[in-house]
Amino acid sequence: MYLIVDVGNSRAKVVVVESDRVVYQTVAENLSADIVSNIVMQYQGICSAIISTTRGDGDSLKAMVEGYVERVLLFVPATTPIPIKNGYHTPQTLGADRLAAAVGAWAMSPDSDVMVVDFGTAITIDYVVDGEYRGGNISPGVTTRFRALADYTACLPLCQPTDEVLEYGRTTVEAIEQGVMRGVENEIRGYVEAFSKENDKKRIIFTGGDAKYFVKRIKNTIFADCEPLIYGLTTILRYNAERE
């Protein structure tokens, strides 16, 4: 059993994986010793753990988890070995979540070129081509766009994601909803079409909280039942264990 810890911009996710199957998961605002202790007591077969964080608190989290799990790997994109080549020019600035998701997407389909789109606080588009992580792009996420319109204008309300597709917004709320949702749709559709033209053996994976809104709108895409990031961290943990 493996303990997988993913600390993102807005939440910490803790997962227990056994034989490539998620047997437990929980989400909290922050990772605490109580959370780790309770999980390890419940799943006493946990033999090792991996930590990924975007908050710059990796060393302290690693020290805390080491109090409960014997072998703990802190995933650092610039230094941690991974099973694919990393072609990013500045790996020291690369988010661990982006690289882990790319590794996970590749591991799901190692014979294909992969594009993974994560619809979170930020929308990240990342690529693995010919077994090499090529990098990608970052833009504001759906909720971030709604908040920007509400925060940086005097009169526009804060709106939410919607499944509804309208040609015209006939109220201000509809105009904001359609402007954000269709703007993201057209943005990602452009990436998908360009990637599809350049790669014959391809797989395009959507993940993240808002992915469900767009996998229905954009053809030839897959919503990942198993989160690529969690699968990637599990793959990286196994890869490093085998190297020892």
| pLDDT at residue 225 tops 80 | no
Mean pLDDT (whole number) for 189-211 = 92
Round the average pLDDT of the chain to a whole number and report it: 94
pLDDT interval class at 133 (50, 70, 90): very high
| pLDDT at residue 9 tops 80 | no
116 and 177 in a common domain: yes
Q: 8-12, 45-49, 140-144: which range is least confident on average? A: 8-12
CA-CA distance, 78 to 95, in Å (whole number)?
10
Percent of the chain at pLDDT > 70 equals 100
179 and 104 in a common domain: yes
| pLDDT at residue 237 tops 90 | yes
Domain that holds residue 119: 79-228
Tell me if the pTM is above 0.95.
Answer: no
183 and 86 in a common domain: yes
Contacts of 234-237 with CB under 8 Å at 24 or more apart are 234/2, 234/4, 234/17, 234/20, 234/50, 234/104, 235/83, 235/103, 235/104, 235/107, 236/50, 236/73, 236/75, 236/80, 236/82, 236/83, 236/100, 236/103, 237/2, 237/4, 237/48, 237/49, 237/50, 237/73
Kindly report the CA angle at 22 between 211 and 91, in degrees rounded to 5? 60
Q: Is 103 exposed, middle or buried (0-12, 13-18, 19+ CB in 10 A)?
A: buried
Across-strand partners of 25?
15
126 is catalytic: no
Q: Which of 33, 48, 74 is the last residue of a domain?
A: 74
Q: Residues 6, 97, 113, 210: which is the catalytic one? A: 97
| pLDDT at residue 16 tops 90 | yes
pLDDT interval class at 45 (50, 70, 90): very high
Q: Per-residue pLDDT tens for 140-187?
A: 999 999 999 999 999 999 999 999 999 999 999 999 999 999 999 999
Q: Which of 18, 50, 74 is the last residue of a domain?
A: 74
pLDDT greater at residue 213 or residue 223: 213
Please count the structural domains in the chain: 2
